[in-house]
Amino acid sequence: MRPHLVAMIDGWEELILFDGADPDAMLIAYARGRGGGLFAAFGGVSASAAAGGPAWALWDLAGHMDDDALAQKAVAIAHEAATGRRSLRLPRMLAMMAGAARDDVRRGRGAPPDLTPGLYLRLLRTQIFGR
């Protein structure tokens, strides 16, 4: 678990130390570190974790950024990461996170800054039915 948690920190460092040079590379490294590390630490090292984690991290980041252009880049990269993949073998909490991210990035949007009724209902549906 420790290497995955270190990867999460490495992902945050990519964002914090970003110098503006290559936003796509920074976002990809951030997503692999933060999302991939979190999902691998708690979901196991699997293709499902590898697919869901980065998309979730970028979705979450895009919803909390002030830079609209960078947020849209994050959503576009998250969309590529989430396309055609479902996280079927994840623990329920990670499946909820990946599902919410996947639904929103397919619509071209990041996470809402607050818990909306629509997001709450989607999370509740995933919690109850597992999809």
Q: What is the span of the domain harbouring residue 72? A: 2-129
Contact between 102 and 39 (Cβ < 8 Å): no
116: CB partners within 8 A, 6+ apart = none
DSSP state of 1: -
Q: Which residues of the chain have pLDDT under 50?
A: none
| Interval 31-65: pLDDT, tens | 999 999 999 888 776 655 566 899 999 999 999 99
Q: Provide the sign of the torsion angle of the four alpha carbons 49, 61, 71, 123, taken in this order.
A: positive
Number of domains in the chain: 1
Contact between 31 and 73 (Cβ < 8 Å): no
* Tokens encoding 105: 């990035």
pTM of the model: 0.88
pLDDT of residue 15: 94
Contact between 40 and 74 (Cβ < 8 Å): no
Supply φ then ψ for residue 111, to 5 degrees.
-65, 145
